[in-house]
Amino acid sequence: MFKTLMETFAALVATPAAQAATAGSGVSEASAGTANVWHMVLSSGLVVQLVLALLVLFSLVTWAVIVSKYLAIRQARQQNRQFESLFWGATSLARARDAVASLPFSPLAAVFHRGYGELARIARLRAAGRLKGVSHPGLMENLRRALSQGQAAESTRLARTVTFLATCANTAPFIGLFGTVWGIMDAFRAIGASGTANLATVAPGIAEALVTTATGLFAAIPAVVFYNYFNRRLQVLDAGMESFRRHFLNLVELSQMDGAIPGPDAVAPDQLRPEA
């Protein structure tokens, strides 16, 4: 039934010339309506087939990257929301660390762990008396650097493999165009060998060559769309990490006692929760 509907639709939208060309033969084999793409692929030259195989591989990898990165970003956003609720509801950084231990895919949790580790290290060194003579700005700079390193590491992790989408979007059309040019060269070489240049001789070779251009666009278009989509999502996640980094530094600054950087147990996020 579906085949009959498609044949009817093709007959309705066909030009008068196409209708006249197919009136005598009807739709017996459905070959008058559409070309057999698989036949064109199998009958094309070795170079064209290699180009098609490469483009199909590009397309498969592209969709694998799209699916995996979409799931990873969605998971990161969900765990970020859970992290914010748990962190700002904790009575100390130590309790917050225990509460967010079950959020391994949250970028905010990763930045927090870097900051917590540096803050705990400063507290241990102070308890051991090894921070005498070390300035307060220097210690805050160490804390700021640790948070920035955590943010950079998470940004790099989240952006991993996204650059492949840009590579595919930029190169796949040109690879397809190369296959098309090569196929047209073969077609004209065959025309020269046969000594005839009628449409029946030219059309099959050119049609085979154009398949590579279509395949290149098929691989490139999703790569372009999702590369831009993921870039926007990554920018939002990075902005969230930057905002949390600033809030964490402010939290430590406001929790100072006698001008000294507080330990993790002395910082209470629930009392200094920023306004929404």
Containing domain of residue 23, as a range?
Answer: 1-34
140 and 166 fall within a common domain: yes
120 and 135 fall within a common domain: yes
For residue 80, is pLDDT > 90? yes
Domain count, the chain: 2
Dihedral, CA of residue 251, residue 253, residue 256 and residue 259, to nearest 10: 180
pTM of the predicted model over 0.75: yes
26 and 70 fall within a common domain: no
CB 267 within 8 A of CB 256: no
Q: Which of 61-70, 138-147, 231-240 has the lowest mean pLDDT?
A: 138-147
2 and 115 fall within a common domain: no
For residue 6, is pLDDT > 60? no
For residue 41, is pLDDT > 70? no
For the chain, the distance separating the N- and C-terminal CA atoms, rounded to the nearest angstrom, is 58
1 and 74 fall within a common domain: no
3 and 110 fall within a common domain: no
Q: Is residue 213 part of a domain?
A: yes
143 and 24 fall within a common domain: no
CB 215 within 8 A of CB 176: yes
Residue type (1 letter), 132: K
Q: How far is CA 215 from CA 97, 171, 187, 198, in A?
A: 50, 12, 19, 27
The tokens for 47 are 């170079």
112 and 241 fall within a common domain: yes
CB 220 within 8 A of CB 172: yes
86 and 27 fall within a common domain: no
Q: Is residue 276 part of a domain?
A: no
**Distance (Å, whole) CA 183 – CA 145:** 56
Residue type (1 letter), 212: T
Q: Provide the pLDDT for residue 149.
A: 96
